[in-house]
Structure 1
Amino acid sequence: MQEHELVEPSSSSESIPKRRVRPPSVVVETLGATTMETKDGRKINNYLLREEIGRGAFGTVHLGIDTDTDKSYAIKEFSKSRLRRKERSDMLRQSGPRGRGRGGIGLGVGRPGMGAGKPSNPLDLVRGEMAILKKLNHPHVVKLFEVLDDPNDDSLYMVFEMAQKGVLMKVDVDQVAKPYSNDEARRYFREMILGIEYLHNNDIVHRDIKPDNLLLSSGGMLKIVDFGVSEMFKGNDDKLKKSAGSPAFMAPELCIAHHGEISGKAADIWSMGITLYCLIYGRPPFRTSSLVDLLDMIRDDSIHYEKSTDPDLLDLFYKLLERDPSKRITMLEMRNHPWVTNRGKLPMITEEENCRALVTEITEEEMANAIKSVANIFTVMKAVTKFKRHSRSWSQHSLNKMMNEVKKQDEEAQNKEILGIEKGAMHLSINHPI
């Protein structure tokens, strides 16, 4: 185990919210969307794009307003040309032995689906992430509502729930953020545990856990976002070969050239430890503008803690930031740790309750059907209108039956006329409850 050093303050309190059960996921995929410039700004269908609220390697996040309902969303805009370049790059890398040693499904927005060849439509560029996000159903994982494509524009849009309070903490190399109190940090760390535990139980490693990827809703609930470098694994085999994520939060085993296979779960847990360190001290333990020096520090340098650090928290830090991944604390041990439970005063909900809505393995058919085409645009419009009048808890069978009824009515009324699919008909896919 690495050395840990004590140096020198930080404290407040907040209650832990009870878990709320979400309704089933409903995601709409829209081809043939229209982008326009209005006096109020750029608009994609019914979404008015306001100011930029975030930026990543492949997209920009805007505050979006649904002009029909006046509700706010976080709308991520991707460049289709950049996604295609990344897809080609990934396919070239995967033409040899896959880095993971088997054919899993990545969650990166630019990764190819289950087969080679050119995507049949632009939404295929993000269907891997869509197939996952449509199934995940947890209060601490961000919700995807709609994906839109304008065939006459380079942009593709993903509409997410809005986390009004923004990032959990803005971490800067040159500045120290205002730390959270022990009680506040405990609350958010417990929510992080629940979200990451749910992902791991669904065979997903996030790979980029950091305060920037933890947002807060208007009610102060933590939401895990950005699955751009996440990976799926199979069974208990969470071994990965590729390094990914933000360097300051990367596990030491990832900071070694040609490191071979590593445990994705253990790497996520190290990142959770660095994130908790930021919440308590306002900064990561290793800071430098040199990437090479940073990786050396993560591998070799001792970690400094303030002398006033709660002994239980200090013990948790030692176990989270254990450089040997085989000795690092597990999720089960973490959720029962004395600091996490406040010495038993705040027991966690059971793993079974937290993960009761487990997803099944993403199949080739599900990947192919992440986007379902409906021939007649009026069929879709009527089906959507009818669907909005009914409960979102309908079964897939009921929804399919409704779609078939509407299609049959339209075929009779319009003598089976099909409106220009090849020029961008609207598409709709409704995911059933897990």
Structure 2
Amino acid sequence: MSATPSPPDSPHSSTSTKRKSVRPPSIVVETLGATTSETKEGLRKINNYLLKKEIGRGAFGTVHLGIDENTNTEYAIKEFSKSRMRKKEQMDLFRRGGPRGRGRVMGLGVGRGAVAAAAKSTNPLDLVRGEMAVLKKLNHPHIVRLFEVLDDPSGDSLYMVFEMMHKGVLMEIEVDEVAKPYSDDMARRYFKEMMLGIEYLHANDIVHRDIKPDNLLLSKDDVLKIVDFGVSEIFVKGNDRLKKSAGSPAFMAPELCVAKHGEVSGKATDLWSMGVTLYCMIFGKTPFVSGNLLELYDMIKEAPIEYGSISGNLLDLFHRILDRNPDTRITMRELRNHAWITNDGTETMISEEDNCDVVSEVTEEEMNNAIKSIASIFAVIKAVSKFKRHSRSLSQQSLNKMMADVKREDAIKDEELNAATRNLNV
């Protein structure tokens, strides 16, 4: 399949094109009254989405190739078990001794941390309301888009509809195999796309914490996008110090491979993982390989790294980004100006200012309102329908009263949710 012209913000053009307008916020549709059905051919449907085949499997569910029968558009639809998510949330709360902690955790699978109230909620979608509040704010050409969340109240499944990345993962990395490496030029291009996405996340106070080739997908237009925010964390503005370890062991920074390591820089750990990912692109394997987890951690902390015969600029970049000291490890801003990234000054990138539309902090109200009650929607529909039926006899005062009733119902439900959150945080 030949590639079509790339969007203005992709690195095909981001090396020379400056964005002229601010990206609009993402629009995520929440459908709480979805219906699951089955076709004559035995395929499942959730509303207008036909689940064609399974294309992936994770800890909490599966990923399907889905077709919107209204538009014939393909999507990647993640199906989660609500009961398994509830159980995981309750276990996390039990281990933490309650909903405490510095940061909020978001994910494409389980909303945790600031959404701890969801553990006792009767609405299963509350389990992901925190992540949705964040994903609605993020809109970047190198971060996968979430379009819709659907819940069938009569079933155990929750569905999240993402844009389809037709070319799949950046590369398959296996412990006992060496993948086909990329050329320096292709590796540079994809690495710069990853840089732009991670830089945007960091500017918005989010660390990904699980950067690896598996979480970098390619679109049909050959544009790289970052996926799977399952262990990502929002940090306090200006303070990216985190205590928890997270991510895939082979890509974890050495400062995370220490028992009781204390606070570490989330941004610095992301940069290390980016370096390991670049190593995979150049060599087709990770720099450290072991079937024993403790041995792997020891290797990450102190084993020499083999670089073979590579250019001086690339070798210098590896030394800077795979620096075991997070305090002297290269920063994102320094990375932008590195000779290998700029190809000895012959390539430029979209500016940091233009790349990073900083979103406002996610408020508690936005967390609570990330998923609206379907009852409110029905109430509005009912009011509008009644107005149409009696439009000739209804006065403006009567219409205002109808809408006031709808708003009052919303306020009561919001207060009930806020009260539940306050009680859980006591």
After superposition, where does 1:13-412 map in structure 2 within 5 Å?
16-19=11-14, 22-40=23-41, 41-95=43-97, 98=100, 102=102, 104-108=103-107, 109-111=110-112, 113-114=114-115, 116=117, 118-307=120-309, 309-355=310-356, 357-375=357-375, 408-412=383-387
Question: What displacement does 1:153 show?
Answer: 1.4
1:170-228 CA-to-partner distances (Å, cap 9, x unmatched) read 11111111100000000000011100000000000000000000001111111000000
Aligned twin of 1:386: none
- Distance (whole Å) between structure 1 residues aligned to residue 186 and residue 80 of structure 2: 34
TM-score of the pair, normalised by structure 1 = 0.82
Q: Give yes or no for contact 1:113–1:124 (8 Å, CA) kept in 2.
A: no
Report the alpha carbon displacement of residue 110 of structure 1 after superposing the two structures with TM: 3.8
Q: CA deviation at 1:18?
A: 2.0
Question: Would you say the 8 A contact 2:215–2:227 is kept in 1?
Answer: yes
Post-superposition shift, 1:39?
3.1
Deviation at residue 55 of structure 1 after TM alignment: 2.0
CA distance in structure 2 between the aligned counterparts of 1:39 and 1:112, rounded to whole angstroms: 43
Specify the alignment match of 2:414 in structure 1.
Answer: none
Normalized against structure 2, the TM-score is what? 0.83
CA distance in 2, matches of 1:265, 1:76: 28
Q: Match of 2:307, SS?
A: strand
C-alpha distance in structure 2 between counterparts of 1:304 and 1:80, whole Å: 45
Offset at 1:105? 1.5
RMSD of equivalent CA atoms: 2.3
Local SS of the residue matching 2:120: coil
Give 2:367's aligned amino acid. Answer: M
2: CA distance, partners of 1:110 / 1:143: 17
For 2:120 and 2:265, the matched residues in 1 are separated by 33
Q: Which moved more, 1:289-298 or 1:61-70?
A: 289-298
Could you tell me how far 1:373 is from its partner in structure 2?
A: 2.5
Q: Residue type of the partner of 2:151?
A: D
Shift of 1:410: 2.3
> How far did residue 288 of structure 1 move?
1.6
The verdict on how the C-alpha distance between 1:71 and 1:216 changes in structure 2, with shifts beyond 3 A counting, is: same
Q: CA 1:414/1:93 → structure 2, altered by over 3 Å: closer, same or farther?
A: farther
Q: Distance in 1 between matches of 2:361 and 2:372?
A: 19
1:17, CA displacement in angstroms?
Answer: 1.3
Q: What is the distance in 2 between the residues matched to 1:187 and 1:314?
A: 17
Higher-RCO chain (CA-CA 8 Å, sequence separation at least 6): 1
CA contact under 8 A between 2:99 and 2:116: conserved in structure 1?
Answer: no
CA distance in 2, matches of 1:150, 1:160: 18
| Structure 2 CA distance for aligned equivalents of residues 377 and 210 of structure 1 | 41
Paired residues in the alignment total 376
Q: What code does the residue aligned with 1:326 have?
A: D
SS at match of 1:304: coil
Q: Which runs of 5+ in 1 are unaligned?
A: 1-13, 380-403, 422-434
1:24 Cα deviation after fit: 3.3
1:56, 1:112 → 2: CA distance?
Answer: 21
The 3-state SS of whatever aligns with 2:105 is coil
Question: Structure 2 vs 1, CA of residues 376 and 259 (structure 1 numbering), >3 Å: closer, same or farther?
Answer: closer
Is contact 2:25–2:138 with CA below 8 Å preserved after alignment? no
**Structure 1 stretch 314-323 or stretch 50-59: which is displaced more?**
50-59
Partner SS for 1:370: coil
Give the 3 Å change call, closer, same or farther, for CA 243–112 of structure 1 in structure 2: closer
User: Contact 2:165–2:219 (CA<8 Å) still a contact in 1?
Assistant: yes
Partners of 1:86 and 1:111 within 8 A in 2: no
Three-state SS of the structure 2 residue aligned to 1:36 is strand
| Structure 2 counterpart of 1:351, one-letter code | E
Identity within the alignment, %:
66
